[in-house]
Each structure stands twice: as C-alpha cells, then as structure tokens.
Structure 1
Amino acid sequence: MTLPEPSAAPDPAATEPAGTVDLTIERPAHGGHFVARHEGRVVFVRHALPGERVRVRFTDTDDGASFWRADVVEVLESSPHRVTHPWPLADALFTAARGRSAVGGAEFGHIALDEQRRLKAAIFEEQLARLAKTGRTVTAEPARGEAADGLAWRTRAAFAVDAAGRLAMHLHRSHSVVPVREMPLAVPAINALRLWTLDLSGIERVDVAAPSGGGDPLVLLVPAAGTSPRRVAAVASSIDGASVGVLEPESGQVRRLTGRTWLQESVLGLDYRVTGAGFWQIHRGAPEALATAVLDGLQPAAGERIADLYAGAGLFTVPLARAVGPTGSVLSVEGSPGTSRDARRNLHGQDHVAIVQGRVDAVLGRWNEPLDAVLLDPPRAGAGKKVVRQILDASPRVVGYVSCDPASFARDLGYFLSAGWTLDTLRVFDLYPHTHHMESFARLLPPSA
C-alpha cells in the first residue's frame, strides 16, 4: 500500500510558543547549542551561528531554571558560514515557516562543513580548558572517504510510526512525530528500502541497520501494544530487500521473521557478527578510523596483558587479541548481555581472551592480574572517578580513551592529570557530520613514562 505525501499540519508545540525575541548569538556551547543572552539570562539557542542576529521562539522558559532554551525561527543578520540545509524537515527555518518544529538528528545542517568542524574543535578545546584545566589545540578530522556533502554515512537509523501508519521521526525534545520520506544522513541501502511507502500500522518503532561492507539491511519492528502477530507478519512481508525481525526493547532479544537477525561487518580485514540490537559504530567509516587510532595509540605487543573496557561486540578486542597473541591476554568487559554475546561469538576459540559481562567497576574490583595497557570506550556519561581510580591502581604503561562526549572525557581526563598522568596524543574525529556529536581518541601516559 502506498501512502500519501506527509501532511504539513502544524505542530501544536510550535503554534503555541512561549514567545519570540530577537537575540545576538555569542558563541557555541556543548550539546548543539549557541549562547545568547536575554534580560541577563543565558539562552541556549539551536540552529544558530556565532555573530548572527536571529529571531527565536522560546521552547523552555522555566522561571526557576538557570537558563532558557530557544529555536531560531528567522535569521535577521546571517553568518557567512550559513548554508542551505540538506534536509528540510530538520531545517528550523523551513519548518518554522510552516508552523512546525524541526526533527532532531541534523542540528548543524545549516552550517558549512568546514565551519562545523572548526566549531566542534573549539567546543572540544573549551571543555578541556574548563573541566580538565588543560590546553590543547584540536582539529576535527573527517573520516577517510567522507562525502563532500557530509551525507549518506549512517548505517543505523531509528524511526517512529505516526497514527496513520507512516514512517516518522520525533521532533527535537518532543513526543510529537512527523512523517518522513527520506533520511539524507543514512547510507543508500537504508533509503533504498523506501519504508515510507509502506503501511506500518500496528508498529510503534522501526530500527534499520545496514552492514558497512554490503549485504542486505536488517529491519527490526517494535509492535505497539495489542498488535496481533498476523499484523506484524503482514508488515514484514511488505518489506523487500531486507531481513526482518521483531525486537523486544526491554530485553534486546530479536525474533526472526525473515532472513537473519545479525549483520556481518569487516574492519581492517577482520570479520565481526553483530546482532540487530547490538551496539556498533553508526558512521560507515567509524570502525576503521577508531580501530586504527587505538592500535596506533596503544601499540600492543606480543605477550602483553590488555583490558578492553566497555568493549561492545569486540571492535577493538579482536585486533588487540591478534596483536598480543596466545602468549598474551585480553580482558573484555561489557555491560549489555546481548552485546557481550556478540563479543563471545567474535572471539570464539581464542582462549587468551576473557569475556566478562557486567559492570566495569565491579569486574575491575575483583580483577587481580596486572595490566600492561587499558582501553576504555565508555558510554556518553563517561567512566567516572571510581573506574579511573581502578585503572590507575592497575599501573598500566598506557591508557587509551575512546570518547563520544567531550565533557565527560574532559572530566575523566582531569582525574588522570591530577594523578600525574599526561595527555600524550589526542585525535578528534568528525564522525557525525551535520550533528554536534564527535568522537575522540586519547593516549594517556603515567608519570614514569
């Protein structure tokens, strides 16, 4: 069944604004915002640029808050770095003119790519100075082979479904959804499925993943409460060119409907199996970029003992295990049961690798063997003081820190620096073009190094 074009009905949140004012934008801030001031109060503005004069619609004006939030609805004096947004539904100006808010996921799309990277580097430097009390000149590197327009890089995408059964996405910081007919940041294999043409009635959420090395995508359906198995099967049968499964969000378990429930990935000549609900880097070039940075930074040698913390499906564990060989050892720690199972499959038969599912601090608390090197790739909240202290107590020769958040990294870096460690090398990667997100890899050395 082919559905009609998305409706342009106004978003209720956008048609009942808390008010609009004209502001001058000062500087970028972590989190995809830009700082302005209104009557002495800080306002975090989305979809702006430093130096611009803009008209904004307030989205959060709690009198007790230390700051307010706002979205740009009109540009009065434009920055030379402002460009046409590649995705109208994520463009604040386009959607505001139609009485709606923008969808999330491409909040930097109005900024020229080179300026996006300059801003990201400046934000990273500011976080280092403020939270780690250290200075470092940063350059945000694009992934190797990045498209000139910064599009078509997402190998994973999550969608909502609207009340009419159409593929949809959430508006930023909202439960409201709008139908979509494309996802310009997604790799072609995801858009080629044309899920927006299907009747998805009875489905609450649709997750799509495409292996970076080719092969059929995997579509995971999350049925709405009360949806019959027959209806779910009907939706699955309407999806061509992909494997289809049913995802249980609470447990992460996937039930196969058609095809297979996992994807085959290849990085640096090594093969990985990742279940549909398992964690994997989103950018098609991210696994290679980060794995290369890790190996260059840690320089693992045969016979060494290495811990890979927050190890996921084994993206870094596999090449580290190969580098240390059977005379060495690797401890892989991952909290997610499903992702830890992926790691077990990817390291099957390698007896020198210990794969432990559990909290990192709990595992390190009972781990008594010495470590030559430690790698950590924590979630957005970072590792925290306890885990950093446990790493310091293990006295490794080097620590590698992969981070997806400059604020939590800078905080944790401060703990290392206060213990006398040194930030040796730091690489920042722009692996999420048109968004404010970035990845980084740091090589940390102990006082004796």
Structure 2
Amino acid sequence: MTTWQGRVLEVEVGAVAHGGHCVARADGRVVFVRHALPGEHVRVEVTEDNGGSFCRGDAVEVLKPSPERVTPPCPLAAPGACGGCDWQHAAPSYQRELKAAVVAEQLSRLAGIEREVVVEELDGGVLDWRSRVRLVAGRDGRAGLRAHHSHRVVALEDCPIAVPGELTDVLARRWRPGSELEVTSDGDGRTHVRELSTVRGKVRARQLSGGVAVQHAAGRDWRLDAHGFWQVHPAAASTLAAVVAEWAEAPSGGSAWDLYAGVGLFASVLASQVGESGRVLAIESGRRAVSDGERNLEDLPQVSWQAGRVEDVLSAAEKPVDVVVLDPPRKGAGKPVVESIVAGQPDRIVYVACDPAALARDLATFASHGYALTALRAFDAFPMTHHVECVALLS
C-alpha cells in the first residue's frame, strides 16, 4: 500500500477517541485527527502512516468549525508545534464533555458497563495549574517540550498551563543539549529544579534548587521528594482524598490496604477511619516515597509500610481486609494485582485511576470475581490535555 504520509485529506470529523484526537474516515481507512472537534469539516495532513487500517494527522485547515471551537491561549498549541496540550482549541466546558464521552466509551467497550459520566471541574480554572513540568533542552540549549509523537524540541517562551513563574528561570538560560529538566512548584510556592543528563550512557541527576517539597492536603502538611509522585493539579490531592474518605467507610478497629501508596495520602485518610485500634497496610515500590511516608505519618502507628511490588507484598498480607484503596500507575493494576485484592475479600474497593482504558480493563477483571461498579466520579485534573482522573467504588 502506498503511504499517505504528507497527503492532505478533506474529511468530516466524527467522535472523540481516547488519546486527544477524533475519528474520521477517508477511502475506507480510519484517520485519527488532532486539533479538530467532532462535527467539523477539516483538511487533514497525514503525519503518520504505517500502512495499516489507520493513519494519524493534524487538522491544518478548518473549513466548517464547531461552535465549541475557541482560539487557543497558547500559540504553540497548533499542528506541528508543542505536544503538551490536546484540547486548547475547545471551550473548557466542552473539553470536559469530550473527556466524559471517552470515559463512558472505554467503560462500555472494555468492561461492558453502560454509565453516564460527568467530568467535574477542579478549583482554579484551566490555566496556571500545572505544578510539575518536565522539559528537555534542544540543540540550541533552549528548554522546551517535544512535539507530538516526536523527539523534536519546541522551545518555550512561557507555558500558560504552568503555575505562574514556575518556569521563568529555567527558560531564561541555556542548557546542555539533550538535558532533561524536572521543575516542581510546591504548596508553599517554592520552585524545585533538577537536571538530568546522560554521560557515557549513565543518567546523572543534579539538584539545582530545592529538593524537598512541602504540600498541603487532607488536613496535613507533607514533606517529600520534590520530584517524586504527587498530584500535578494543586486542587487534586485534597479533592481525591475527600472522595476516598467518603467512599472507603473503613470501620473503626478494622483493616485497610493503601496500594501504590506514594507518601501515604490515602493511608492517612484510612488511618483516621480505623483509629488507633485498627490497621492500615501501605504498599509502595518507591523506597524514597516509603521513607517520606513513614516520616509524614509517624504520628499514626496504625499505619505500617511495605516497600515492594504490590502483587508480591499482598501474597503475604494479613487477610481478610475490610477496605482497599488503590491508585496504580497509568497502565493500571492488571490481573495479578486484581486477583490479589480479591483474595483479601474486601467489602469495598476504591480505585483511583488516571487512565480510563486501564480502569475499564481492571473493572472487567473485578467483575469476573463478583465486584460491581457502584459509583464513579471523574475530575478534570489535567485541563487542556486529554487526561482525566477517575475514582471508582466497587462492592
């Protein structure tokens, strides 16, 4: 088959799909289109074509715009430019509708669950929220973000979704080409910068400013590795902790597991529910996160920590357990972890997910063991991007 790479197609744009694009069709093939909205008539330049049943492209001209189309606040949110955002060309409320449609479609297709989904807005709006940014230095030493599906670096002057002032110093200087820069703005407004460079095949990290972040959530102050895991949106941690507190209902004197625990945000919530006579097992593979968690929750003796892979630690965990909370990485928990949770016979499971497809696959596995989805909330914790945070309750 002759490649369509570089070809310009005129298409009617169909439904939104998972990943920040919409689906169109041309000459019997599926075209995944970025920078378009459902219902639009656009010209698409094909940017990727591996010769299969589909190809990918950018909407380079909008012939019939959607009423939900707006001017992107960043000039780099355009075809061939920065790949950091997916939906700057959509009105904020419509972005949430698109994400809700994606979550509902993934639940239906992968788990057989039909459910109306509403994506809720977090406090703070759609700009100035991104508290963690990973940049890379281009050939000219200027820091920027990569273009979509590319290693090409798009240099930044600023980033409208980043916390104001967070990137000012980093973008003002030149760096070793290829260096990666991890920038974090913490809950006290301090900026932490770490440079990662590869020398003779080895990655070297150099802390340039800060290093220990202070965050505030769930009624506590947290001190942790500035470049370790923490929710990116400033309002996300407290919002998710509140949902976990409402849904977990861990009994006083009972037992709970906090899986992929990070520094113990949800473990602190569970600990307050089970009380001093109960017990919470927090499992986390990152040893720095475990040590940070132990320090942050040293006033809660009912919380015990285990460093290691969740499926390995759970095999020896005390069972049964009353409640399980899990917040796995983007790939989801997977069948071995789900089956280890089921072996604990929990009454309730609260699943925090940053990828709707992974969530749906795991819900299908839970369903095969008799656990049903009884409640779902979704949050726009990553405005302007295609990402969405979900919390699911199973019983």
TM-score, normalised on structure 1? 0.83
Aligned to 1:173: 149
| Residue 66, structure 1, aligned to residue 53, structure 2 | yes
Counterpart of 1:44 in structure 2: which amino acid?
F
Aligned to 2:315: 365
- For the residue of structure 1 that corresponds to 2:199, the secondary structure is coil
Give the Å deviation of 1:358. Answer: 0.9
Give the Å deviation of 1:257. Answer: 5.0
Q: Would the alpha carbon gap of residues 27 and 90 (structure 1) be closer, same or farther in structure 2, given more than 3 Å must change?
A: same
Assess if the C-alpha contact under 8 Å between 1:308 and 1:330 holds in 2: yes
| Residue 288, structure 1, aligned to residue 244, structure 2 | no
Q: Would the alpha carbon gap of residues 41 and 293 (structure 1) be closer, same or farther in structure 2, given more than 3 Å must change?
A: same
Give the Å deviation of 1:127. Answer: 0.9
| Residue 146, structure 1, aligned to residue 124, structure 2 | yes
Aligned to 1:206: 181
Q: Would the alpha carbon gap of residues 53 and 376 (structure 1) be closer, same or farther in structure 2, given more than 3 Å must change?
A: same
Aligned to 1:430: 380
Aligned to 2:363: 413
- How do residues 319-334 of structure 1 correspond to structure 2 at under 5 angstroms? 319-334=269-284
- For the residue of structure 1 that corresponds to 2:166, the secondary structure is helix
| Residue 32, structure 1, aligned to residue 20, structure 2 | yes
TM-score, normalised on structure 2? 0.94
Moved segments of 4+, more than 4 Å: 254-258
Assess if the C-alpha contact under 8 Å between 2:184 and 2:227 holds in 1: no
Assess if the C-alpha contact under 8 Å between 1:18 and 1:61 holds in 2: no
Assess if the C-alpha contact under 8 Å between 1:203 and 1:222 holds in 2: no
Give the Å deviation of 1:59. Answer: 1.5
Give the distance between the partners of 1:50 and 1:426, measured in 2 at CA. 25
- How do residues 33-52 of structure 1 correspond to structure 2 at under 5 angstroms? 33-52=21-40
Q: Which one of the candidate residues 225, 243, 247 is aligned to 2:199?
A: 225
| Residue 86, structure 1, aligned to residue 73, structure 2 | yes
- For the residue of structure 2 that corresponds to 1:188, the secondary structure is coil
- For the residue of structure 2 that corresponds to 1:278, the secondary structure is coil
State the number of aligned residues: 391
| Residue 103, structure 1, aligned to residue 82, structure 2 | yes
- How do residues 7-406 of structure 1 correspond to structure 2 at under 5 angstroms? 18-63=6-51, 65-92=52-79, 101-143=80-122, 145-147=123-125, 150-191=126-167, 193-201=168-176, 204-211=179-186, 213-225=187-199, 256-258=207-209, 260-406=210-356
Give the Å deviation of 1:372. Answer: 0.6
Give the Å deviation of 1:366. Answer: 1.8
Per-residue deviation, residues 158-200 of structure 1 (Å, max 9, x unmatched): 1111222212211111111121110111111414x34222122
Give the Å deviation of 1:430. Answer: 0.8
Give the distance between the partners of 1:195 and 1:256, measured in 2 at CA. 13
Give the Å deviation of 1:201. Answer: 3.6
Give the Å deviation of 1:151. Answer: 0.4
Per-residue deviation, residues 144-168 of structure 1 (Å, max 9, x unmatched): x232xx1011110111112222122
Assess if the C-alpha contact under 8 Å between 1:157 and 1:208 holds in 2: yes
Give the distance between the partners of 2:203 and 2:15, measured in 1 at CA. 39
Per-residue deviation, residues 295-336 of structure 1 (Å, max 9, x unmatched): 111122321110001111212112222332221111111122
Aligned to 1:229: none
Give the Å deviation of 1:384. Answer: 1.2
Q: How many percent identity over aligned positions?
A: 42
Q: Would the alpha carbon gap of residues 134 and 67 (structure 1) be closer, same or farther in structure 2, given more than 3 Å must change?
A: same
Give the distance between the partners of 1:313 and 1:18, measured in 2 at CA. 47
- For the residue of structure 2 that corresponds to 1:90, the secondary structure is coil
Counterpart of 2:166 in structure 1: which amino acid?
I
Give the Å deviation of 1:338. Answer: 2.4
Unaligned runs of 5+ in 2: none
Q: Would the alpha carbon gap of residues 301 and 189 (structure 1) be closer, same or farther in structure 2, given more than 3 Å must change?
A: farther
Per-residue deviation, residues 54-89 of structure 1 (Å, max 9, x unmatched): 1111121111x2321111111111111110011111
Assess if the C-alpha contact under 8 Å between 1:278 and 1:342 holds in 2: no
Q: Would the alpha carbon gap of residues 203 and 345 (structure 1) be closer, same or farther in structure 2, given more than 3 Å must change?
A: farther
